[in-house]
């Protein structure tokens, strides 16, 4: 089989056959059992990573606590300078890291590079932010008094990330948290531990060059139990978790129990509304990329297409034709559009969802199935499918992390389409295809989409890092990445200073001695 430069990428990123999975920077250890990372691309084992025991974890937390004392006193723009250097490091390693992301996770090489680009972009964003982190000043009601607010770092931020964006989501959190003065402990998905090891090595080099202490960037590895070391730990004021709604509910309950903060980025059930005024050509491109890009494993992937009856057949025929052109195969081969899904469990969920859609009355327009034979030995390559359904079907209400697109017909006006779009428990991303201003503005209004992301004339996925990223309802309510998402990584303090010679009380209260 063709290597596509994988061995070279692994060597460049210092990935060995066996790797320590716990790190406080330049110090690597990990005495737990090993996780073997195998590629969904060819089913081969890539390398192993040792997991983090409770003892290892304690060592990590005490290093992080120690490091925080130093890091919080480094001026924010100087912390930004270190993040800037990390961005440069990522530019230098963009190709091997993009390739490793593609090989370990299964997304196309182009998307692997795109993911590393998101990391570079968030570093740039964080560098600018490091000279801002603004609070407001306000006027005191008392004479000779001044009031203002400021933001201070929180301490240790725990980051739990998912397999589908194995490196970018970590960087959105960590780059902001670092300029805010926090130190971070990262547990990557146990399905993609090697990209975690690679990133940690890159940042460790930068921190060492700047003579920074161990503990500013930490890595731990393992399953949910290792995640629980952090969610139950009072020493970690903020847990940022990305993954399923089931996982998020558990994290929220555990962190809430100790009144810690959690930032949750959970499932989506994203729809594109296609009105009679849609540009059909644009719609098809947006919908196909949204549904089959990353093999339907983005939290922003397009799951539902809500199409007006007057253009339904036209859209359906164009989609079926487009699906006929899709090339499924090795994602490192740039001729292919669709790579594998993550593992055999995901394949099982995909098959089950298709079965359920049929049982509930769905009409299969492009049939699915698992590919076999030459090039498909991993068993993780599945055919993108399209099923015509009703929005109310149980299976349509759920997020299946696979390339299944549900087609839903609406009649009536755009309000009917919006009602269908909102009638799910998730609230991450949404879009409308229309050249009609009234439809577009209604969709964006307070009686329009109830999602954290609402787009006009683009698909549901592929958000830029400059906006706040996240969603409502069972998506968890958290916001990461751009805009003022940084505020969650800091604690807010209101300060009132009296420079007069008296001590007047607020609210005009008299208290004379
Ligand atoms: C995710 O799937 O968890 O908006 C993140 C997008 C990407 C990020 C997706 N920029 O599709």
On whether the CB atoms of residues 328 and 381 are closer than 8 A, the answer is yes
Q: What is the mean pLDDT of residues 405-434?
A: 98
Q: Model pTM?
A: 0.98
Q: Minimal CA–CA distance to 171: which of 114, 86, 97?
A: 86
Q: Is the pLDDT of residue 1 over 70?
A: no
Q: Tell how strand 270-274 and strand 429-433 pair up.
A: parallel
Tell me the per-residue pLDDT of 325-362, one tens digit each, with 9 for 90 and over.
999 999 999 999 999 999 999 999 999 999 999 999 99
- Ligand 1 atom with least separation from CA of 461: 11
Tell me the per-residue pLDDT of 219-254, one tens digit each, with 9 for 90 and over.
999 999 999 999 999 999 999 999 999 999 999 999
Tell me the per-residue pLDDT of 70-93, one tens digit each, with 9 for 90 and over.
999 999 999 999 999 999 999 999
Q: Is the pLDDT of residue 2 over 80?
A: no
Q: Check residue 26 and give its pLDDT.
A: 96
How far, in Å, CA of 229 to CA of 57, rounded? 8
Q: Minimal CA–CA distance to 399: which of 209, 185, 228, 245?
A: 245
| CB of 283 closer than 6 angstroms to any ligand 1 atom | no
> Which of 162, 461, 471, 479 to probe ligand 1 with, by most ligand atoms within 8 A of CB?
461
pLDDT class of 513 with cuts at 50, 70, 90: confident
How far, in Å, CA of 94 to CA of 116, rounded? 6
Q: Is the pLDDT of residue 295 over 60?
A: yes
Residue 462 Cα to ligand 1 midpoint, Å, equals: 6
Q: Minimal CA–CA distance to 220: which of 47, 37, 21?
A: 21
Residues of the chain with pLDDT > 90: what percent? 99
Q: Is the pLDDT of residue 58 over 80?
A: yes
Q: Is the pLDDT of residue 166 over 70?
A: yes
**Is residue 265 annotated as part of the catalytic site, yes or no?**
yes
DSSP states along 24-88: SSS-EE--SPEEEEE-TTT--EEEEEEPPPHHHHHHHHHHHHHHHHHHTTS-HHHHHHHHHHHHH
Tell me the per-residue pLDDT of 180-209, one tens digit each, with 9 for 90 and over.
999 999 999 999 999 999 999 999 999 999
CA angle 78, 80, 82 (to 5 degrees): 80
Q: What is the mean pLDDT of residues 314-327?
A: 98
Helix axes 54-71, 224-231, angle to 10 degrees: 40
Q: With left for phi above 0 and alpha for psi between -120 and 50, is residue 4 left, alpha or beta?
A: left
What's the whole-number average pLDDT of the chain?
97
Q: Tell how strand 468-469 and strand 480-481 pair up.
A: antiparallel
How far, in Å, CA of 457 to CA of 451, rounded? 16
Residue 301 Cα to ligand 1 midpoint, Å, equals: 8
Residue 369 Cα to ligand 1 midpoint, Å, equals: 26
How far, in Å, CA of 239 to CA of 232, rounded? 10
Interacting residues of 55 by C-beta distance below 8 A, sequence separation 6+: 31
DSSP state of 332: T
Q: Is the pLDDT of residue 114 over 80?
A: yes
Catalytic-labelled residue, pool 115, 190, 214, 265 = 265
Q: Is the pLDDT of residue 3 over 90?
A: no
């Amino acid at each position: 089989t063709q290597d596509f430069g994988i061995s070279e990428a692994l060597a460049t990123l210092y990935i060995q056959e066996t790797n320590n999975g716990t790190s406080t920077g330049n110090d690597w250890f990990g005495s737990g059992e090993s996780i073997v990372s195998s590629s969904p691309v060819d089913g081969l084992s890539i390398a192993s990573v040792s997991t983090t025991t409770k003892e290892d974890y304690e060592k990590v937390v005490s290093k992080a606590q120690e490091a925080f004392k130093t890091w919080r006193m480094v001026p924010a723009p100087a912390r930004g300078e270190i993040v800037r250097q990390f961005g440069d490091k990522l530019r230098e390693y963009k190709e091997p890291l993009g390739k490793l992301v593609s090989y370990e996770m299964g997304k196309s090489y182009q998307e692997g590079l795109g993911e590393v680009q998101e990391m570079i972009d968030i570093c740039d964003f964080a560098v600018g932010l490091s000279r801002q982190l603004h609070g407001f000043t306000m006027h005191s009601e008392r004479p000779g008094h001044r009031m203002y607010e400021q933001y201070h770092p929180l301490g240790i931020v725990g980051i739990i990330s998912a397999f589908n964006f194995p490196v970018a989501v970590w960087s959105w959190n960590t780059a902001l948290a670092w300029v805010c003065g926090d130190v971070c402990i990262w547990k990557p998905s146990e399905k993609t531990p090697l990209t975690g090891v690679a990133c940690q090595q890159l940042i460790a080099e930068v921190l060492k060059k700047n003579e920074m202490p161990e503990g500013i960037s930490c890595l731990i590895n393992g399953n949910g139990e290792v995640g629980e070391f952090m969610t139950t730990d009072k020493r970690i004021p903020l847990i940022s978790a990305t993954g399923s709604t089931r996982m998020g509910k558990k994290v929220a309950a555990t962190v809430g129990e100790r009144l810690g903060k959690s930032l949750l980025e959970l499932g989506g059930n994203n729809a594109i509304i296609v009105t009679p005024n849609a540009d059909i050509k644009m719609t098809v491109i947006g919908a196909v990329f949204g549904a089959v890009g990353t093999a339907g494993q983005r939290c922003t992937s397009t799951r539902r297409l809500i199409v007006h009856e007057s253009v339904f057949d036209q859209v359906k025929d164009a989609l079926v034709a487009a699906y006929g052109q899709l090339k499924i195969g090795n994602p490192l081969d740039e001729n292919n559009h669709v790579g594998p899904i993550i593992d055999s469990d995901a394949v099982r969920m995909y098959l089950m969802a298709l079965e359920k859609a049929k049982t509930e009355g769905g009409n299969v327009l492009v049939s699915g199935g698992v590919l076999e034979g030459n090039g498909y030995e991993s068993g993780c390559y599945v055919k993108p499918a399209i099923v015509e359904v009703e929005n109310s079907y149980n299976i349509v209400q759920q997020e299946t992390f696979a390339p299944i697109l549900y087609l839903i017909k609406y009649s009536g006006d755009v309000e009917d389409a919006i009602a269908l779009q909102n009638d799910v428990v998730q609230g991450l991303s949404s879009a409308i295809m229309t050249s009609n201003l009234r439809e577009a503005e209604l969709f964006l209004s307070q009686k329009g989409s109830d999602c954290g992301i609402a787009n006009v004339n683009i698909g549901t996925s592929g958000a830029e890092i400059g906006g706040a990223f996240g969603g409502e309802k069972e998506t968890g309510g958290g916001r990461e990445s751009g805009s003022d998402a940084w505020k969650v990584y800091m604690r807010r303090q209101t300060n009132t200073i009296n420079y007069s010679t008296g001590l007047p009380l607020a609210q005009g209260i008299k208290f004379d001695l």
